[in-house]
Amino acid sequence: MTDREQFRPENHPNDHFLLTTVVGSYKKPKWVDRARELWEEPDSGFDDDNWQEAADDAARLITGEHERAGLDVVVDGEMRRTEMVEYFAHRIDGYEFPGRVKVWGHNTFDKPAVVDDVAYDEPWLVDEFEFTDSVAERPVKVPITGPYTIARFSFNEHYDDYEEYAYALADLVNTEIENLVDAGARYIQIDEPALAMTPDDHAVVGECLERIVDDISVGGANGGSSDASDGVSEEVRVGLHVCYGDYSRIYPEVNDYPIDEFDVELFNDDYQQIDVFADPEFEPDLALGVVDAHHAEVESVEQIKQNILEGFKVVPPEKLTISPDCGLKLLPREAAYGKMENMVRAAREIERELDAGEIDVGLAAPSAD
Amino acid sequence: MTELVSTTPGLYPLPDRAKDELADLKGHQKGDLVPTDDPEVTDAYDRARREVVDRQQEAGLDRVVEGQLRWDDMLAHPLAVHDNVDTRGIVRYFDNNNFYREPVVTGELTPGGDIAAELDAATELVDEGLQAVLPGPYTLADLATDDHYGDEAALLEGVTEFLAAEAGAFPEVETLFLLEPSLLESPPGDSADERASDAIDAVASAVDADVVAHTYWESREGAGGLAEKVYAHLLDADLDAVGFDFVNGHNETVYNVNEYGCTGDVALGVTDGQNTLVESPSKIRERVDYVLENTPGADFERVYVTANTGLFYLPVGKFGRKLDALAAVEQEVTA
């Protein structure tokens, strides 16, 4: 069994299998935001147990929503998390929170400042995973913010440079992923949007990934890290998500990363960048964005099928994962649901056409299959 | 004897109370950033402006800026509020984790007076040392998308005339900082470098004040500092000072100054506008002295001691302490 086949549902209708999933974040229901506000108000009487219950309800709701849309691998929509850097920094020793800063317009975040050596304190995502896994009928993916992005998106008052800082964090991410794998997680996605911002640092991200996957294996046995081309054992799938950047500045270096899958946003500019990955041969699996994460109009099944075909310019069907461009947290829920539902329908239709030998595009052409 | 003048390139963080108040009044979405005459919003900005002017005066800075608190789209602001500009999707602001609305120029950039009005409000709070801040013409054109002028050179010309008219409408100011990060971030090529210099010259000539063309961040091409040709052309503009980022680049800048000379005055970005680590006045002074000692090719009459970038990246507490440290640098005795 390859690491990918373990996610094929038992009742999967087609021989071909285009794994469908999401990047991770999802619009929070209004009552979740309200519950968090109450929990953060000292005099509200809304205690930790109340918040826990609200967060559990939300995670159950969104996990179920992903399953109803038909996704093969689901996420809880990151209902317990605040912001992608802040959430982790609160759980790592070495940070202070000097105050809010602007991201755009009147949107701010509580940007952490590292003031001491970072150290692993408490698990970051193990509880989140265990709960989601317990309520989900489908396999669960765990998105985790990568060390380079945490380093780049926080203030650095302590380390000599970003490289040293990112490597220190990478060792902590390694510990967290070990804990997640021990808890049963088999699909991890490292989010590194900061790489799109400073693509010249692709080697730093590469070294972070080597540290992250070091000795990660199921049951702690036969760690795959001895094989530099694939640091993780077969049972654990590690993806990397990078969005909104110039991919030509990090490819083909990505081929050397110890990852199973590279997740990209390409629909946003209508696949103008797809050719970047065509030469030299793309080595990891490709997780292809096929719906827009920042436009509320739901793409038709037909349109999404056309988008999926773009992926075959780069990888054959057995290496193609289908996903939105980015997290869906900024879309209205109905739009996000509609996009996921159409995405799954489109993937199943393409699979049927592949089974029937009707698709003659790039690496999906029957002769190449 | 070199005179040290403490200042900043503006673009301040909103005080925390104003952050909440304005988010509540204006909202969180793209469409909510359009200019408004809502008296509650105007009032909130007036109070916030007073706060940041007071804070600069309390610190003792030699130049006081208005704060640019209304600039939701950072340096793209003067276009974002213009009638003949459409604001579209959110795009990344240089290599930062910040975003602004893409300004698409759809008609002639007629003078608007938006920035002059801000400065008018500031003159009531500042008796002396008022400093204006504008995006430089090259940077503003670089941030814009053109749907009117037809080509790069025509867009730059349109933006230049617009900024010159804005600057011409200013009340009396002591200094004008023209912020030109794009000279590093997306440097002009052959002949565009000369046009950039002419454009800066045209805006600089529109005001009766000392003009500083301030450059910052690192160049992706070359060694990290300003490209030599870009710098050489920049010196042709009628400027009182060029500003350099000494947080991000050292050697190339020192080399350029020694090789090509410099303006009579200079601005040295010696505190980090993007990091919360507060440099001590002695550390800042050390950096200033380093530059002065290593540029025998120049003899500066005045050094503007400043942060390298605008300061909206910082939480307000750290922002205030950065101002204090900059203002205290004159008291530091050279080692």
What are the pLDDT digits (tens) for A258-272? 999 999 999 988 999
Q: What is the pLDDT of residues B90-149, one digit of tens each?
A: 888 988 889 898 999 999 999 989 999 999 999 999 999 999 999 999 999 999 999 999
Q: How far apart are the C-alpha atoms of A182 and A123, rounded to whole Å? A: 12
C-beta neighbour count of A334 within 10 angstroms: 11
Distance in angstroms (rounded) separating the CA atoms of residues B256 and A355: 64
Q: What is the mean pLDDT of residues B15-43?
A: 82
Pick among A28, A33, A85, A106 to test the B interface (most B CBs inside 10 A): A106
Residue with tokens 């500083």: B212
pLDDT of amino acid B33:
66
- CA nearest to B24 within chain A: A106
Residue A90 neighbours by CB distance under 10 Å: 16
Instruction: State the smallest CA–CA distance between residue A243 and chain B in angstroms.
Output: 12
Task: Convert the pLDDT of each residue in B94-105 to its tens digit.
Answer: 888 898 989 999
- From chain B, the residues in CB contact with A197 under 8 A are 92, 95-97
Segment B34-57 shows an average pLDDT of 91
Closest chain B residue to the Cα of A96, Cα to Cα: B276
Query: In percent, how much of chain B has pLDDT > 90?
Result: 83
Q: Strands A107-110 and A100-104, how do they pair?
A: antiparallel
Check whether B152 has a pLDDT greater than 90: yes
Cite the beta strand spans of chain B per DSSP E: 3-6, 64-65, 85-92, 99-105, 130-135, 145-146, 175-179, 210-214, 241-245, 265-271, 302-307
- Dihedral of CA B71/B72/B76/B78: which sign? negative
pLDDT for A237 equals 95
Dig out the tokens for B29 from the structure: 């979405």
Distance of CA A252 to the CA centre of its chain: 21
Nearest to B280 by CA among B327, B317, B313: B327
Name the residue of chain B whose CA is nearest to A112's CA: B276
Q: Give the pLDDT mean for A104-118.
A: 93
**In this predicted structure, what is the pLDDT of residue B122?**
97
CB B86 within 8 A of CB B26: no
**What's the whole-number mean pLDDT along residues B295-322?**
96
Task: State the pLDDT at residue A88.
Answer: 97
Determine the Cα–Cα distance for residues A177 and A186; give it in Å rounded to an integer. 10
Could you say which of A101, A107, A198 has the minimum Cβ distance to residue B315?
A: A101
Arithmetic mean of pLDDT, A200-222: 84
pLDDT exceeds cutoff 70 at A195: yes
Contact B28 A113 (CB under 8 A): no
> Quick check: A100 and B89 CB within 8 A?
no
Dihedral (CA of B178, B179, B180, B182) sign? negative
Whether a cis peptide bond, with omega within 30° of 0, leads into B103 is: no
* Predicted ipTM beyond 0.85: yes
User: A263: part of which helix (H) or strand (E)?
Assistant: strand A261-264
Choice among A241-245, A321-325, B128-132 with the minimum mean pLDDT: A241-245
Interface with A, mutate which of B29, B276, B283 (most A CBs under 10 A): B276
Q: Do B97 and A101 touch (CB under 8 A)?
A: no
Strand order in the sheet with A155-156: A92-96, A113-120, A155-156
Q: Are B315 and A152 a contacting pair at CB < 8 A? A: no
Kindly list the residues from chain B whose CB atom is less than 8 angstroms away from the CB atom of residue A100.
16, 19, 315
Res B176 pLDDT > 60:
yes
Q: Does the pLDDT at position A75 exceed 50?
A: yes
Asked if B28 lies within 8 A of A106 by C-beta distance, the reply is yes
- Chain A residues at the B interface, defined by Cβ less than 8 Å, are 98-108, 111, 113, 152-153, 155-157, 194, 197-198, 200, 244, 294
- Check whether B185 has a pLDDT greater than 70: yes
Average pLDDT over residues A83-107: 94
Q: What is the pLDDT, as a whole number, of residue B220?
A: 63
Look up tokens 């991770």; give the residue. Answer: A24
On the question of pLDDT at B235 being above 50, the answer is yes
pLDDT digits (tens, 9 = 90+) for A7-35: 999 999 999 999 999 999 999 999 999 99
* Cβ(B225)–Cβ(B246) below 8 Å: no
Cβ-based contacts of B276 with chain A (< 8 Å) = 98, 113, 155, 157
**Mean pLDDT along residues B146-158:** 97
pLDDT reported for residue B230: 94
What is the average per-residue pLDDT within B210-223?
A: 84
- Copy the structure tokens of residue B38: 């809502």
Note the pLDDT of residue B1. Answer: 79
When CB atoms are compared, the residue of A101, A104, A194 closest to B99 is: A104
Q: Which residues in chain B have their CB less than 8 angstroms from residue A103's CB?
A: 97-99
DSSP H or E segment with residue A289 = strand A285-289
Contact B277 A100 (CB under 8 A): no
Q: How many percent of chain B have pLDDT more than 70?
A: 95
What is the distance in angstroms between the Cα of B283 and the nearest Cα belonging to chain A?
A: 15
Structural domains for chain A: 5-31+64-368 (3.20.20.210)
- Whether residues B28 and A155 touch (CB distance < 8 A) is answered with no
Q: In chain A, which residues have their Cβ closer than 8 Å to the Cβ of B318? A: 98-99
Residues of B in contact with A99 (CB under 8 A): 16, 315-318
Average pLDDT taken over every residue of chain A: 92
Query: Distance, in angstroms, between B33 CA and closest chain A CA?
Result: 7
Residues A337-348, buried b or exposed e (16+ Cβ, 10 A)?
bbbbbbbbbbbb
Residues of B at the A interface, defined by Cβ within 8 angstroms? 13-14, 16, 19, 22-23, 26-30, 32-33, 72, 89-90, 92-93, 95-100, 220, 275-277, 312-318
Helix, strand, or coil (residue B170)? coil
Q: Do B317 and A106 touch (CB under 8 A)?
A: no
Quote the minimal CA–CA distance from A309 to chain B in Å.
27
In this model, does residue A274 exceed pLDDT 80?
Answer: yes
Q: Name A286's bridge partners.
A: A262, A320
- Report the pLDDT value the prediction gives residue A221, as an integer from 0 to 100: 44
Q: What span, in angstroms and rounded, lies between the C-alpha atoms of B330 and B60?
A: 11
Q: pLDDT confidence of A110, banded at 50, 70, 90?
A: very high
The closest CB to that of B23, out of A106, A111, A156, belongs to A106
Categorize the per-residue pLDDT at B333 as very low, low, confident or very high, splitting at 50, 70 and 90: low
Condensed to tens digits (0 to 9), the pLDDT of residues A166-182 reads: 999 999 999 999 999 99
B93-97 own/partner pairs: CB under 8 Å, 24+ apart: B93/A104, B94/B181, B94/B185, B94/B217, B95/A197, B95/A198, B95/B185, B95/B217, B96/A197, B96/B274, B96/B313, B97/A103, B97/A152, B97/A153, B97/A194, B97/A197
What pLDDT is recorded for position A230?
45
* Nearest residue of A to residue B275, measured between CA atoms: A155
| Chain A residues within 8 A of B14 when measuring between CB atoms | 102
d(CA A53, nearest CA chain B) in Å: 28
What was the pLDDT predicted at A229? 41
This prediction's pTM: 0.90
Query: Which chain A residue is nearest to residue B26, measuring alpha carbons?
Result: A106
Cβ contacts below 8 Å, chain A against chain B, sum to 73
User: How does DSSP classify residue A146?
Assistant: -
pLDDT in the model for residue B219: 75
Q: Which of A33, A37, A97, A101 has the most B C-beta neighbours within 10 Å, making it the best mutation to test the interface with B?
A: A101
Closest partner residue to A101 among B28, B29, B313, by Cβ?
A: B313
d(C-alpha B50, C-alpha B18), whole Å: 12
Q: Which comes out higher in pLDDT, residue A129 or A243?
A: A129
Q: Does residue B335 contact residue B302 with C-beta atoms inside 8 Å?
A: no
In tens, the pLDDT along B161-173 reads 999 999 999 999 9
Residues of B whose CB is below 8 A from A200: 220
Q: What is the pLDDT of residue B225?
A: 84
- Report all structural domains of chain B as residue ranges with CATH numbers, in order of start: 3-331 (3.20.20.210)
> Residue B334's pLDDT is what?
55
Q: Collect all residues with Cβ–Cβ distance below 8 Å to B110 and sequence separation of at least 6.
A: B83, B84, B162
Would you state the pLDDT for residue A1? 56
- With bands split at pLDDT 50, 70 and 90, how would you rate the model's confidence at B251? confident
Of residues A7 and A214, which shows the higher confidence score? A7
When pLDDT is cut at 50, 70 and 90, the band that residue B32 belongs to is low
